Amino acid sequence: MSDILPNDILVDIAGNGVATVTMNRGEVHNAFNEQVIAGLTDAFRQVGENPDVRVVLLRGVGKSFSAGADLGWMKKMAGYSYEENVTDAMGLATMLRTLDECPKPTIAVVQGPAFGGGVGLVSACDIAVGVETATFALSEVRLGIIPAAISPYVIGAIGERACRRYFLTGERFSAAEAQRIGLLHEVVASDALEEAVARVVKGLTDSAPTAVTAAKELIRAVARRPLTDAVVRDTAERIARQRASAEGKEGVGAFLDKRNPSWRS
Protein backbone atom coordinates (compact mmCIF):
# COMPACT_ATOMS: atom_id res chain seq x y z
CA MET A 1 0.00 0.00 0.00
CA SER A 2 1.03 3.58 -0.60
CA ASP A 3 1.94 5.12 2.74
CA ILE A 4 1.04 8.77 2.11
CA LEU A 5 0.09 9.41 5.74
CA PRO A 6 1.72 8.33 9.02
CA ASN A 7 2.03 4.56 9.27
CA ASP A 8 -1.07 4.28 11.44
CA ILE A 9 -3.21 5.10 8.39
CA LEU A 10 -2.47 3.70 4.95
CA VAL A 11 -4.05 4.85 1.71
CA ASP A 12 -3.89 2.96 -1.57
CA ILE A 13 -5.55 4.02 -4.82
CA ALA A 14 -5.80 1.22 -7.37
CA GLY A 15 -5.93 1.68 -11.12
CA ASN A 16 -9.62 0.81 -11.18
CA GLY A 17 -10.46 3.83 -9.03
CA VAL A 18 -10.92 1.92 -5.77
CA ALA A 19 -9.24 3.69 -2.85
CA THR A 20 -8.53 1.73 0.32
CA VAL A 21 -8.09 3.51 3.66
CA THR A 22 -6.62 1.10 6.20
CA MET A 23 -6.29 1.50 9.94
CA ASN A 24 -2.88 -0.08 10.52
CA ARG A 25 -2.80 -0.53 14.30
CA GLY A 26 -3.60 -4.20 14.60
CA GLU A 27 -1.56 -4.56 17.79
CA VAL A 28 -4.05 -2.28 19.61
CA HIS A 29 -7.11 -3.42 17.65
CA ASN A 30 -7.05 -0.26 15.49
CA ALA A 31 -8.01 1.93 18.41
CA PHE A 32 -8.20 5.72 17.97
CA ASN A 33 -5.95 8.42 19.34
CA GLU A 34 -5.49 12.02 18.22
CA GLN A 35 -3.02 11.07 15.51
CA VAL A 36 -5.23 8.31 14.10
CA ILE A 37 -8.25 10.61 14.06
CA ALA A 38 -6.29 13.35 12.27
CA GLY A 39 -4.89 10.80 9.80
CA LEU A 40 -8.33 9.41 9.01
CA THR A 41 -9.72 12.91 8.53
CA ASP A 42 -6.94 13.74 6.06
CA ALA A 43 -7.39 10.41 4.27
CA PHE A 44 -11.14 10.84 3.81
CA ARG A 45 -10.61 14.36 2.48
CA GLN A 46 -7.93 13.24 0.05
CA VAL A 47 -9.86 10.36 -1.46
CA GLY A 48 -13.03 12.45 -1.56
CA GLU A 49 -11.30 15.19 -3.55
CA ASN A 50 -9.39 12.85 -5.88
CA PRO A 51 -11.13 12.77 -9.30
CA ASP A 52 -9.65 9.33 -10.03
CA VAL A 53 -11.38 7.70 -7.05
CA ARG A 54 -14.70 5.97 -7.67
CA VAL A 55 -15.15 3.95 -4.46
CA VAL A 56 -13.60 4.08 -0.98
CA LEU A 57 -13.03 0.99 1.17
CA LEU A 58 -12.41 1.38 4.92
CA ARG A 59 -10.53 -1.50 6.50
CA GLY A 60 -8.70 -2.46 9.68
CA VAL A 61 -5.74 -4.82 9.88
CA GLY A 62 -5.57 -7.75 12.28
CA LYS A 63 -8.30 -9.35 14.32
CA SER A 64 -10.45 -6.25 14.92
CA PHE A 65 -12.02 -3.62 12.72
CA SER A 66 -11.69 -1.00 15.46
CA ALA A 67 -11.91 -1.10 19.25
CA GLY A 68 -12.78 2.59 19.52
CA ALA A 69 -10.80 4.81 21.88
CA ASP A 70 -7.16 3.98 22.58
CA LEU A 71 -6.45 3.36 26.29
CA GLY A 72 -3.58 5.84 26.33
CA TRP A 73 -5.79 8.47 24.78
CA MET A 74 -8.50 7.79 27.36
CA LYS A 75 -6.00 8.24 30.18
CA LYS A 76 -5.02 11.63 28.77
CA MET A 77 -8.66 12.67 28.42
CA ALA A 78 -9.26 11.87 32.09
CA GLY A 79 -7.04 14.81 33.00
CA TYR A 80 -8.50 17.27 30.48
CA SER A 81 -10.54 20.30 31.44
CA TYR A 82 -14.04 20.75 30.00
CA GLU A 83 -12.70 23.08 27.28
CA GLU A 84 -9.90 20.64 26.38
CA ASN A 85 -12.43 17.81 26.21
CA VAL A 86 -14.64 19.81 23.82
CA THR A 87 -11.68 20.49 21.52
CA ASP A 88 -10.63 16.85 21.63
CA ALA A 89 -14.16 15.56 20.96
CA MET A 90 -14.53 17.93 18.02
CA GLY A 91 -11.63 16.14 16.34
CA LEU A 92 -13.54 12.85 16.39
CA ALA A 93 -16.78 14.55 15.40
CA THR A 94 -15.09 16.25 12.44
CA MET A 95 -13.50 13.00 11.28
CA LEU A 96 -16.83 11.19 11.29
CA ARG A 97 -18.54 14.04 9.47
CA THR A 98 -15.78 14.05 6.84
CA LEU A 99 -16.39 10.33 6.26
CA ASP A 100 -20.17 10.76 6.21
CA GLU A 101 -19.97 13.63 3.70
CA CYS A 102 -17.34 12.04 1.45
CA PRO A 103 -18.70 12.53 -2.09
CA LYS A 104 -17.52 9.04 -3.10
CA PRO A 105 -19.40 5.89 -2.02
CA THR A 106 -17.81 4.34 1.06
CA ILE A 107 -17.79 0.71 2.17
CA ALA A 108 -16.87 -0.51 5.65
CA VAL A 109 -15.15 -3.91 5.35
CA VAL A 110 -15.72 -5.33 8.83
CA GLN A 111 -13.42 -8.30 9.29
CA GLY A 112 -13.67 -8.36 13.10
CA PRO A 113 -15.11 -6.67 16.19
CA ALA A 114 -16.11 -3.00 16.21
CA PHE A 115 -16.70 -1.22 19.50
CA GLY A 116 -17.61 2.35 20.40
CA GLY A 117 -16.08 4.67 17.84
CA GLY A 118 -15.55 1.67 15.57
CA VAL A 119 -19.33 1.33 15.35
CA GLY A 120 -19.40 5.03 14.50
CA LEU A 121 -17.08 4.42 11.55
CA VAL A 122 -19.25 1.57 10.28
CA SER A 123 -22.36 3.72 10.64
CA ALA A 124 -20.84 6.69 8.80
CA CYS A 125 -20.04 4.55 5.74
CA ASP A 126 -22.64 4.20 3.01
CA ILE A 127 -22.44 0.41 2.90
CA ALA A 128 -21.17 -2.10 5.46
CA VAL A 129 -20.24 -5.72 4.83
CA GLY A 130 -19.09 -7.87 7.75
CA VAL A 131 -18.08 -11.38 8.69
CA GLU A 132 -20.45 -13.56 10.66
CA THR A 133 -18.00 -13.78 13.59
CA ALA A 134 -17.81 -9.98 14.10
CA THR A 135 -19.20 -8.56 17.32
CA PHE A 136 -20.26 -5.03 18.18
CA ALA A 137 -20.83 -2.89 21.26
CA LEU A 138 -21.66 0.67 22.21
CA SER A 139 -20.13 0.25 25.64
CA GLU A 140 -19.48 3.89 26.56
CA VAL A 141 -21.99 3.92 29.44
CA ARG A 142 -20.04 1.14 31.13
CA LEU A 143 -17.13 3.58 31.34
CA GLY A 144 -19.30 6.40 32.63
CA ILE A 145 -19.44 8.25 29.30
CA ILE A 146 -21.84 8.39 26.33
CA PRO A 147 -21.53 7.73 22.56
CA ALA A 148 -22.21 11.36 21.72
CA ALA A 149 -19.92 12.17 18.76
CA ILE A 150 -20.93 9.00 16.93
CA SER A 151 -24.63 9.28 17.77
CA PRO A 152 -25.87 11.06 14.60
CA TYR A 153 -24.48 8.28 12.44
CA VAL A 154 -25.37 5.33 14.67
CA ILE A 155 -28.94 6.56 15.17
CA GLY A 156 -29.18 7.11 11.43
CA ALA A 157 -27.98 3.55 10.80
CA ILE A 158 -29.89 1.51 13.38
CA GLY A 159 -32.69 3.86 14.44
CA GLU A 160 -33.80 5.32 17.73
CA ARG A 161 -35.43 2.12 18.99
CA ALA A 162 -32.30 -0.03 18.73
CA CYS A 163 -30.21 2.78 20.25
CA ARG A 164 -32.54 2.85 23.25
CA ARG A 165 -31.29 -0.64 24.01
CA TYR A 166 -27.65 -0.66 22.95
CA PHE A 167 -26.72 2.89 24.04
CA LEU A 168 -28.15 2.19 27.49
CA THR A 169 -27.02 -1.39 28.18
CA GLY A 170 -23.59 -1.29 26.54
CA GLU A 171 -24.01 -4.99 25.76
CA ARG A 172 -22.33 -6.79 22.90
CA PHE A 173 -24.32 -7.99 19.93
CA SER A 174 -23.64 -10.30 17.01
CA ALA A 175 -23.19 -9.72 13.31
CA ALA A 176 -26.61 -11.26 12.72
CA GLU A 177 -28.16 -8.73 15.11
CA ALA A 178 -26.13 -5.94 13.48
CA GLN A 179 -27.66 -6.89 10.15
CA ARG A 180 -31.15 -7.14 11.62
CA ILE A 181 -31.04 -3.61 13.04
CA GLY A 182 -29.40 -2.11 9.95
CA LEU A 183 -25.76 -1.62 10.96
CA LEU A 184 -24.53 -4.20 8.43
CA HIS A 185 -26.03 -4.60 4.98
CA GLU A 186 -24.56 -8.04 4.41
CA VAL A 187 -23.06 -10.76 6.63
CA VAL A 188 -20.84 -13.44 5.12
CA ALA A 189 -18.39 -16.14 6.12
CA SER A 190 -14.81 -14.93 6.61
CA ASP A 191 -13.61 -16.62 3.44
CA ALA A 192 -16.37 -14.95 1.42
CA LEU A 193 -15.74 -11.37 2.57
CA GLU A 194 -13.57 -10.23 -0.33
CA GLU A 195 -15.94 -11.73 -2.90
CA ALA A 196 -18.87 -9.91 -1.30
CA VAL A 197 -16.97 -6.61 -1.24
CA ALA A 198 -15.93 -7.04 -4.88
CA ARG A 199 -19.56 -7.58 -5.83
CA VAL A 200 -20.62 -4.35 -4.14
CA VAL A 201 -17.70 -2.47 -5.72
CA LYS A 202 -18.73 -3.69 -9.15
CA GLY A 203 -22.27 -2.48 -8.57
CA LEU A 204 -20.94 0.96 -7.67
CA THR A 205 -18.45 1.24 -10.53
CA ASP A 206 -21.11 0.08 -13.00
CA SER A 207 -23.07 3.17 -11.95
CA ALA A 208 -22.45 6.68 -13.25
CA PRO A 209 -19.97 8.45 -10.92
CA THR A 210 -21.58 11.87 -10.74
CA ALA A 211 -25.01 10.28 -10.39
CA VAL A 212 -23.72 8.28 -7.40
CA THR A 213 -22.45 11.48 -5.78
CA ALA A 214 -25.73 13.24 -6.55
CA ALA A 215 -27.66 10.30 -5.05
CA LYS A 216 -25.67 10.64 -1.81
CA GLU A 217 -26.45 14.35 -1.69
CA LEU A 218 -30.13 13.60 -2.37
CA ILE A 219 -30.35 11.31 0.66
CA ARG A 220 -28.94 14.01 2.94
CA ALA A 221 -31.30 16.59 1.46
CA VAL A 222 -34.46 14.52 1.92
CA ALA A 223 -33.91 12.21 4.90
CA ARG A 224 -35.83 13.02 8.07
CA ARG A 225 -37.38 16.20 6.62
CA PRO A 226 -41.10 16.98 6.33
CA LEU A 227 -42.46 16.58 2.80
CA THR A 228 -42.93 20.29 2.11
CA ASP A 229 -43.37 22.05 -1.23
CA ALA A 230 -39.72 23.13 -0.97
CA VAL A 231 -38.52 19.53 -0.63
CA VAL A 232 -40.68 18.40 -3.56
CA ARG A 233 -39.33 21.25 -5.70
CA ASP A 234 -35.76 20.44 -4.65
CA THR A 235 -36.11 16.80 -5.71
CA ALA A 236 -37.53 17.85 -9.10
CA GLU A 237 -34.63 20.25 -9.67
CA ARG A 238 -32.08 17.59 -8.72
CA ILE A 239 -33.36 15.05 -11.25
CA ALA A 240 -33.64 17.79 -13.90
CA ARG A 241 -29.99 18.74 -13.41
CA GLN A 242 -28.90 15.12 -13.67
CA ARG A 243 -31.01 14.44 -16.77
CA ALA A 244 -29.58 17.51 -18.48
CA SER A 245 -25.97 16.65 -17.59
CA ALA A 246 -23.58 15.05 -20.07
CA GLU A 247 -23.51 11.94 -17.92
CA GLY A 248 -27.30 11.73 -17.79
CA LYS A 249 -27.58 12.06 -21.55
CA GLU A 250 -24.86 9.44 -22.06
CA GLY A 251 -26.57 6.98 -19.70
CA VAL A 252 -29.99 7.28 -21.33
CA GLY A 253 -28.46 7.19 -24.80
CA ALA A 254 -26.48 4.05 -23.98
CA PHE A 255 -29.59 2.36 -22.63
CA LEU A 256 -31.58 3.19 -25.76
CA ASP A 257 -28.68 2.16 -28.02
CA LYS A 258 -28.20 -1.09 -26.07
CA ARG A 259 -24.53 -0.40 -25.35
CA ASN A 260 -22.37 0.16 -22.28
CA PRO A 261 -22.14 3.76 -21.09
CA SER A 262 -18.73 5.41 -21.22
CA TRP A 263 -17.97 4.99 -17.52
CA ARG A 264 -18.54 1.23 -17.67
CA SER A 265 -16.39 0.54 -20.72
pLDDT band at 4 (very low <50, low <70, confident <90, very high): very low
pLDDT of residue 144: 85
Distances (CA, A) of 82 to 35, 78, 104, 150, 167: 21, 10, 35, 19, 23
pLDDT of residue 6: 57
Q: Any residues with CB less than 8 A from the CB of 62 and at least 6 apart, and which?
A: 26, 27, 29, 30, 112
Give the angle 47-48-51 at the CA atoms, nearest 5°.
80
Check: CB of residue 138 under 8 Å from CB of residue 220: no
Strand 135-137 and strand 114-115: the pairing is parallel
DSSP 74-134: HHHHHT--HHHHHHHHHHHHHHHHHHHT-SS-EEEEE-S-EETHHHHHHHHSSEEEEETT-
- Spot the catalytic one: 49, 101, 132, 140: 140
**Nearest by Cα to 113 from 197, 39, 28, 44:** 28
Q: Which amino acid is at 229?
A: D
Strand 9-13 and strand 18-23: the pairing is antiparallel
Check: CB of residue 170 under 8 Å from CB of residue 163: no
Task: Note the pTM of the prediction, 2 decimals.
Answer: 0.89
Dist. CA 85–CA 80, nearest whole Å: 6
pLDDT of residue 227: 76
pLDDT value at 3 more than 50: no
- Tens-digit pLDDT profile for residues 80-132: 888 888 888 899 999 999 999 999 999 999 999 999 999 999 999 999 999 99
Q: Any residues with CB less than 8 A from the CB of 209 and at least 6 apart, and which?
A: 54, 247, 263
Q: pLDDT above 90 covers what percent of the chain?
A: 68
Q: Which residue has the higher pLDDT, 24 or 80?
A: 24
Dist. CA 253–CA 231, nearest whole Å: 29
Dist. CA 261–CA 248, nearest whole Å: 10
pLDDT band at 245 (very low <50, low <70, confident <90, very high): confident
Dist. CA 265–CA 261, nearest whole Å: 7
pLDDT of residue 1: 40
pLDDT value at 52 more than 90: yes
**Nearest by Cα to 222 from 204, 210, 238:** 238
What integer is the mean pLDDT of 161-167? Answer: 97
pLDDT of residue 265: 65
Q: pLDDT above 70 covers what percent of the chain?
A: 97
- Tens-digit pLDDT profile for residues 185-234: 999 999 999 999 999 999 999 999 999 999 999 999 998 788 788 887 88
- Tens-digit pLDDT profile for residues 33-47: 989 999 999 999 999
Radius of gyration of the chain (CA): 19
- Tens-digit pLDDT profile for residues 129-161: 999 999 999 998 888 889 999 999 999 999 999
pLDDT of residue 71: 81
User: Does 250 qualify as catalytic in the annotation?
Assistant: no
- Give the long-range contacts of residues 187-192, CB within 8 A, separation 24 or more: 187/129, 187/130, 187/131, 187/132, 188/129, 188/130, 188/131, 188/132, 189/131, 189/132, 190/111, 190/131, 190/132, 190/133
